[in-house]
Amino acid sequence: TIYLDHQATTPMDPAVAEAMTFAATHCYANPSSPHAAGIRAFREVERARGAVARFIGAGRSEICFTSGATEGNNLAIKGVVRPGAARHVVTTAVEHKSVLDTCRSLREAGHEVTVLPVDEEGRVDPGQVAAALRPDTALVSVMLANNEVATVQPVAEIGALTRAAGVPLHCDATQGVGSLPVDVAALGVDLLTFSGHKIYGPKGVGVLYVANRLSDRAPLVPLLHGGGQERGLRAGTLNTAAVIGLGAAVGVLATGREAEAVRLAGLRARFLSELADLVPYVLNSGTGPGFLPHAVNLSFPGVDAQQLLLEVADLAVSTGSACNSSAQEPSHVLRAIGLAPERIRGSVRISFGRFTTEADAATAARALAAVAAREPARSA
Ligand code: PMP
């Protein structure tokens, strides 16, 4: 199989697997235990915490390990917008469901939510964020990069204005941390989420960054109560091996990220030009600086993408977001950028990664083109 679905998840880097094997073998003790074995596990967890903190320019005390971005997004949003007096939240129409559905649950609990539209590239206008702010706004949540159309949001610009207004800013950075420089101070965020498995780390582990300036003022309300781990923010014995694996994953990423971004953009260009020679398609995402370097979303006119994927053996790509594909409903992101239902039906998401070769990109283009070229005739 040629795996070109790195926005859904990434294969584990061998260095991560090695670190996890070590952890599973030698760091089995509970990192909260005061005996020597516990202290050894604790030290490795803290080393990982330090690596994650450095990776995003945060302090170690600002890193909370979670089970992934879904939990991190839930904790950030429900943790800040506490029950009680109704408050207001601002987000965008293209967020992941773990943000949008969390906001919907707040709405059901009596809070108000403003969901801002995006332009045809999927980008939110910082001016509209500013205009949406109210005296009772408790939180703004804007993603770093989109998981379907790869749009990079102007988070730093939004951070400057939320900071000036004294409103906390949360950023779901799940799709950006692997290929964009992420520095919490430069972005101006108070909360930031990501998952291990999108950056060649393990599944079931993630990070929520909570700025000390925020938690000192008003500690987040935890989702999980219990043993007081993670400074009371997230109870439960840490998934030590996964945390250590995540530490290794950010260690690998921290070296050579820029060169890798250039290489990935090159693979994408190669793929697209090869494809263009063989079959007509339209781009649903951009390939310039305002987009992730390794991803592209495109539609084959007249083709049913679901059918197409069934027929392209040995190629792992996706239609819209993998999280949505069981739902069988048209992608909320593609609708938000204004695509017609026909174009959404024909849309395919392709994302390259660390182990993708030039040959993979070319082979994938030929395989997709071969099926796409005969599809429209059949459905006509
Ligand atoms: N946010 C974004 C932008 C994502 O792409 C994903 C994964 N599709 C998530 C959140 C959820 O991550 P996880 O499934 O690891 O909890």
pLDDT one-digit tens code per residue, 33-61: 999 999 999 999 999 999 999 999 999 99
Counting from 1 in the atom list of ligand 1, the atom nearest the Cα of 8 is 8
3-state secondary structure the chain: CEECECCCCCCCCHHHHHHHHHHHHHCCCCCCCCCHHHHHHHHHHHHHHHHHHHHHCCCHHHEEEECCHHHHHHHHHHHHCCCCCCCEEEEECCCCHHHHHHHHHHHHCCCEEEEECCCCCCCCCHHHHHHHCCCCEEEEECCCECCCCCEECCHHHHHHHHHHHCCCEEEECCCCCCCCCCCHHHHCCCEEEEEHHHCCCCCCCEEEEECHHHHHHCCCCCCCCCCCCHHHCCCCCCCHHHHHHHHHHHHHHCCCHHHHHHHHHHHHHHHHHHHHCCCCCEECCCCCCCECCCEEEEECCCCCHHHHHHHCCCEECECCCCCCCCCCCCCHHHHHCCCCHHHHHCEEEEECCCCCCHHHHHHHHHHHHHHHHHHHHHHC
**Protein residue with least CA distance to atom 10, ligand 1:** 69
Query: What's the whole-number average pLDDT of the chain?
Result: 95
Distance CA 356, CA 191 (A): 32
Please give the torsion angle defined by the CA atoms of residues 233, 236, 242 and 246, in that order, rounded to the nearest 10 degrees: 10
2-9+257-379 and 14-253 agree in CATH topology: no
Q: State mean pLDDT over 258-265.
A: 96
Distance CA 99, CA 71 (A): 10
Q: How many CA atoms lie within 13 A of 299 on its CB side?
A: 20
Counting from 1 in the atom list of ligand 1, the atom nearest the Cα of 203 is 15
The per-residue pLDDT for 327 is 57
Tokens standing for residue 345: 């039906």
CA of 322 to the centre of ligand 1 (A): 10
User: What amino acid positions are annotated as catalytic residues?
Assistant: 323
The per-residue pLDDT for 313 is 82
Pocket of ligand 1 (CB under 6 A): 68-70, 96, 98, 143, 147, 172, 174-175, 195, 197, 323
Question: Could you tell me the strand order of the sheet in which 347-351 lies?
Answer: 282-283, 295-299, 347-351
- Whether the pLDDT of residue 368 is over 60: the answer is yes
Mutational test site, ligand 1, from 143, 323, 349, 351, max ligand atoms within 8 Å of CB:
323
Q: Which of 180, 248, 266, 219 is closest to 16 using CA atoms?
A: 248
CATH of domain 14-253: 3.40.640.10
**φ and ψ at residue 188, rounded to 5 degrees:** 70, 30
Tokens standing for residue 117: 């539209």
| pLDDT band, residue 378 (cuts 50/70/90) | low
Mutational test site, ligand 1, from 6, 73, 195, 318, max ligand atoms within 8 Å of CB:
195
| pLDDT band, residue 325 (cuts 50/70/90) | low
CA of 69 to the centre of ligand 1 (A): 5
pLDDT digits (tens, 9 = 90+) for 222-237: 999 999 999 999 999 9
Mutational test site, ligand 1, from 102, 171, 198, max ligand atoms within 8 Å of CB:
198
**Domain 2-9+257-379 -> CATH class:** alpha beta
CA of 150 to the centre of ligand 1 (A): 13
Evaluate whether 170 touches 77 at the Cβ level (below 8 Å): yes
Q: State mean pLDDT over 358-371.
A: 96
CA of 96 to the centre of ligand 1 (A): 7
Whole-model pTM: value is 0.96
The per-residue pLDDT for 374 is 86
The per-residue pLDDT for 321 is 47
CA angle in degrees (0–180, nearest 5) for 269-270-276? 85
Q: State mean pLDDT over 107-121.
A: 97
- Whether the pLDDT of residue 377 is over 80: the answer is no
Q: Could you give the angle at which helices 257-276 and 358-379 cross, rounded to 10 degrees?
A: 40
Distance CA 319, CA 365 (A): 16
> Which residues, listed in sequence order, are joined to residue 191 by a DSSP beta bridge?
170, 210
pLDDT digits (tens, 9 = 90+) for 164-210: 999 999 999 999 999 999 999 999 999 999 999 999 999 999 999 99
CA of 70 to the centre of ligand 1 (A): 6
Task: Using the Cα atoms of residue 326, residue 330, residue 334 and residue 340 in order, give the sign of their dihedral.
Answer: positive
pLDDT digits (tens, 9 = 90+) for 131-140: 999 999 999 9
Please tell me the least confidently modeled range out of 79-83, 111-115, 291-295. 79-83
Domain boundaries, the chain: 2-9+257-379, 14-253
Tokens standing for residue 26: 């030698």
Q: State mean pLDDT over 14-38.
A: 97
**Is the ipTM reported for this complex over the cut 0.90?**
yes
- The β-bridge relationship of strands 2-3 and 191-195 is unpaired
Distance CA 171, CA 222 (A): 18
The fraction of the chain above a pLDDT of 90, given in percent, is: 91
